[in-house]
């Protein structure tokens, strides 16, 4: 039993049956629930997955998903914002929303599950990769 931070790519894969990572998302999420991990997601990642849902009138679907899993949506505070800026400054190819996800996982000392290769690579460098 621990914590697990989810990147938007995991939720997107889970909700998109033809996504290349769909099955992996289901397996990883089931394993986390079996371990009784507490799930968390950066507010920026939550917003990212909500965009498509809002456009399609399915925002309630995402909120039910978050509620059902008792997933904590972690707001960006000053500490997370500063760490995200440091990561973004160090790694010029890292997008700010991804830096916020990484900084959130780091602040919560939670491994990060991401199917985005660039984010997963930085997570490994920061010892945040999910084992």
DSSP 8-state assignment for residue 19: S
Q: Which of 37, 41, 18 is nearest to 29 (CA)?
A: 37
Tell me the CATH number at 86. 3.40.50.1010
Domain that holds residue 88: 3-125
Please report which helix (H) or strand (E) contains residue 3, including its range: strand 3-6
- Residue 130 within any structural domain of the chain: no
pLDDT digits (tens, 9 = 90+) for 19-68: 999 999 999 999 999 999 999 999 999 999 999 899 999 999 999 999 99
Q: Is residue 8 helix, strand or coil?
A: helix
Give the pTM: 0.93
Give one DSSP letter per residue of 59-106, joined into a string: HHHHHHHHHHTT-EEEPP-HHHHHHHHHHHHH-TTS-HHHHHHHHHHH
How does the average pLDDT of the chain come out, rounded? 95
Q: Is residue 131 part of a domain?
A: no
The total of structural domains in the chain comes to 1
7 occurs within a structural domain: yes
How high is the pLDDT of residue 131? Answer: 58
Query: Is 57 part of a structural domain of the chain?
Result: yes
């Amino acid at each position: 039993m621990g914590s697990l931070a989810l990147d938007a790519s995991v939720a997107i894969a889970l909700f998109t049956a033809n996504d290349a990572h769909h099955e992996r998302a289901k397996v990883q999420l089931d394993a986390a629930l079996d371990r009784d991990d507490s799930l968390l997601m950066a507010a920026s990642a939550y917003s990212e997955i909500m965009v498509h849902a809002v456009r399609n009138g399915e925002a309630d679907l995402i909120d039910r998903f978050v509620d059902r899993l008792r997933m904590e949506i972690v707001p960006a505070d000053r500490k997370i914002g500063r760490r995200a800026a440091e990561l973004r400054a160090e790694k010029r190819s890292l997008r700010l929303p991804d830096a916020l996800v990484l900084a959130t996982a780091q602040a919560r000392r939670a491994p990060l599950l991401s199917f985005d290769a660039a984010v997963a690579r930085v997570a490994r460098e920061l010892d945040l990769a999910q084992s």
